[in-house]
Amino acid sequence: MKLHILFSVSDRLRRAINFHHGKSGQATRQEVRSWLWQHGHSKDEELLRALFEAEEKQNAQR
């Protein structure tokens, strides 16, 4: 049996995935797919929090 599962991933989460890997911009479809395959959505909040804190720190330095 073949099964297709669709995930909705925000642009912010795509940025958080790349931030986690030390890259700028948004993760590609393949990078998101790989991330979800390895971690599912279990680390979404952690990734988003790290991105938010880094952005806040950067804004405070301005």
4 pLDDT higher than 90? no
Mean pLDDT of 23-48: 94
**In a domain? residue 30:** yes
Total domain count, the chain: 1
- Rounded to the nearest integer, the mean pLDDT of the chain is 93
For 48, residues 6+ apart whose C-beta sits below 8 A from its C-beta are 12, 13, 16
Classify residue 25 by its DSSP letter: S
**What's the pTM?**
0.85
**In a domain? residue 23:** yes
**In a domain? residue 29:** yes
**In a domain? residue 2:** no
Task: Give residue 26's domain range.
Answer: 11-61
**In a domain? residue 42:** yes
Q: What is the pLDDT of residue 14?
A: 97
**In a domain? residue 32:** yes
- In the chain the first and final C-alpha atoms are separated, in Å, by 55
**In a domain? residue 6:** no
Contact assessment for residue 51 and residue 17, using Cβ atoms and an 8 Å cutoff: no
**In a domain? residue 5:** no
Mean pLDDT of 29-49: 93
